[in-house]
Amino acid sequence: MSKQMSKKSARRQPATETATGPAANPAAPCPCGLDATYRDCCGSLHDGRTTATTAQRLMRARYSAFVVRDAAYLLRSWHSTTRPSDISFEPAQHWTGLEVLGTTGGSSFHRDGTVEFRAHFTLRGQAHSQHELSRFVREDGHWVYVSALERP
Ligand SMILES: [Zn+2]
């Protein structure tokens, strides 16, 4: 009754001051909060070694892409109809943790799905969070982000 329950428990919040640090180190814990190194987790999606099999996986990789400021990954994981022409990052914004609150659909058997999450960040030293219900669909077989939905 020790380790097998840990996956269901609340995720640890990464330490705020290291939130943008681990990304530079492939051997550091992945910013998305899963129990793996950045290289083995979202790093493998960012550099194209793997693709997301679920909407939640894609959503986590997109969060990590904001942490490491990988605009190319964000753009190519965005639906062609809603993708912005480019992405600029707020230099004073530092992402500090991700909580996945719920999902619908989005498995390898689905064509669309939603992920509700809360992403924590600091902006000029102030703590904030972004609570979003995101919609994902498959485009050319791959999960992509479409847009934020109204939260119920
Ligand atoms: Zn990850």
CA of 32 to the centre of ligand 1 (A): 4
Residue 73 lies in a domain: yes
Measured in angstroms, how far is the CA atom of residue 60 from the centroid of ligand 1?
Answer: 6
Query: From ligand 1's centre to the CA of 138, what distance in Å?
Result: 20
CATH of the domain at 128: 3.10.450.50
Domain of 85 in residue numbering reads as 17-149
CB 136 within 8 A of CB 58: yes
> Can you tell me whether residue 68 is helix, strand or coil?
helix
pLDDT of residue 151: 80
Residue 2 lies in a domain: no
Distance 82 CA to ligand 1 centre (A): 24
Tell me what pLDDT residue 24 has. Answer: 58
Question: Using CA atoms in the order 90, 96, 68, 54, what is the torsion angle rounded to 10 degrees?
Answer: -120
The alpha carbon of 109 and the centre of ligand 1 are apart by a number of angstroms equal to 22
Q: Is residue 100 part of a domain?
A: yes
Q: Supply angle C-alpha 97, 64, 137, rounded to 5.
A: 110
Whether residue 96 is contained in a domain is answered as yes
Domain count, the chain: 1
Residue 124 lies in a domain: yes
Q: What is the pLDDT of residues 56-108, one digit of tens each?
A: 999 999 999 999 999 999 999 999 999 999 999 999 999 999 999 999 999 99
